[in-house]
Every structure is written in C-alpha cells, then in structure tokens.
Amino acid sequence: MSTFVQILIAFFLPPISVLMTNGFGLQFLLNVLLCLLFYLPGSFHALYLLLRDR
C-alpha cells in the first residue's frame, strides 16, 4: 500500500491504521483509548507509529 494512503488512513481511521501496522496489542488498545478521549491524539499516535518504522 502506498505511503500516502497509509497516512490518510492513519489520520482518518487511526485504530485501523495501528491494527494494520502493529497488529492487535498494547499499541492498538492505547490508540483506541486516545481516540475515545479525544480524536486528535489518536491520530498523532497512529502517524507516529506509521512513520517511526520508515
């Protein structure tokens, strides 16, 4: 999948992006919690995890 599409998914659907890149685990649960508290931290967390691996 292209990087641009992955970044869009990370911004608009952060838990799905974390699930695709890291699988079901602590990072996924943390991202869901961040999205439930306020959407923007969840997006930043997903973008961080996506771009950290590059």
Domain ranges (residues) in the chain? 3-53
What's the pTM value of the predicted model, to 2 decimals?
Answer: 0.88
Q: How many other CB atoms are there within 10 angstroms of residue 20's CB atom?
A: 16
More confident: 54 or 18: 18
* Residue pLDDT, tens place only, 12-46: 999 999 999 999 999 999 999 999 998 999 999 99
Residues 38, 3: Cα–Cα separation, whole Å: 25
What is residue 54's predicted lDDT score, i.e. its pLDDT? 72
pLDDT tier, 1 (very low <50, low <70, confident <90, very high otherwise)? low
What is the residue whose two structure tokens read 């999948």? 1
